[in-house]
Amino acid sequence: MPSTAAYSRQTPTPLTESFANGLRRRELLAGLAGLAAFGTGAAASGDLDLDDPAQNLRAFVKLIGSLDGAPVYDMVRGSVYGLMAGRAAQPLFKTVGAGVAVYRQVSPLEFTATSRYVGLLLDWETGQPMERWTNPLNGVRCTVPTTQYGPGDMRVLGDRMLPAGMEMDGPVGGTRPWFRLGDTVHMHREVLAGDPQQPLFPKGDLMTYSGDWKLLQDAAVLRMPSRLNFSAVEKWRDWMNMDAQAQPGTLWWHVAGAKLQGPGDYPPDLREWVTRQDPGFFDVG
């Protein structure tokens, strides 16, 4: 496995920041009314109206990806904790990953996305990739798998993403929650679901994408820098050898990411490792 010293040193090309606080536009508008420095809604958005479903969707894709049909590469890294009742949060491992996606518009209210992701888990103390790991929650020695998704196709709609071919209930439309602070715009993607095996612990992915407001408004700009803040809650992964009934709890992910200018922005060790795990990763087009 490669050394990850470069991973901790690498500073991705600046994107934009985001945070998921659950506020919808009307709530934020009420809280910031009268403050000229803070803008939300069409009155503050110039030629771009993020309350319009078609404009909101196109802006969202521009923020997370690109409107020119070319591959968009990103890099994420962060920390993962284990939470169990009556115990302090337990640091488990760090994570680093690479993603690539291509977006194409098929109608004013829909894009398609073809994406893939490869990630690895790192020792909390050394930052080195792990093949074996002793679970501090139960003392069991575990084999650590590679995290790999895709290639997969998705429908990107106004307020949700669906697997390709899946129809949605109700009309196509809706908008992503958004707000603007000064020159920075933030847009949310939220995926919330229950887990039948753990009714007290929901599955949740909370993502905030952030970028420059002026670039987002500029129709001549098809690709722009952006940043991601990502928090997730999920059940124990099978390879951790946790008994969900006797040892109920959740994994909590806290991750930051950045859209890269191109595949050459990856640290060399990470690029080499991704190529070994997914030889087609850099051939997306």
The number of CA neighbours under 13 Å toward the Cβ of 223 is 15
Look at residue 35 in the predicted model and tell me its pLDDT.
34
Higher local confidence (pLDDT), 140 or 3 = 140
Distances (CA, A) of 93 to 47, 126, 145, 198, 273: 45, 10, 13, 23, 19
Higher local confidence (pLDDT), 218 or 44 = 218
Residue range 146-205, pLDDT digits in tens: 999 989 999 999 988 888 988 877 777 789 999 999 999 999 998 877 656 555 555 788
Distances (CA, A) of 245 to 84, 200, 236: 12, 12, 11
Would you say residue 11 has pLDDT above 60? no
72 and 263 Cβ atoms separated by less than 8 Å: no
Q: What is the DSSP letter of 68?
A: S
pTM of the full structure: 0.81
Look at residue 1 in the predicted model and tell me its pLDDT.
41
Amino acid at 145: P
Q: Residue with structure tokens 């909101």?
A: 56
Instruction: Compute the mean pLDDT over every residue in the chain, rounded to the nearest whole number.
Output: 83
pLDDT band at 2 (very low <50, low <70, confident <90, very high): very low
| Cα–Cα distance for residue pair 264/267, rounded to 1 Å | 8
Higher local confidence (pLDDT), 29 or 44 = 44
Closest CA to 92 of 252, 209, 279, 276: 252
Residue range 241-271, pLDDT digits in tens: 998 778 889 999 999 999 999 999 999 999 9
Would you say residue 24 has pLDDT above 70? no
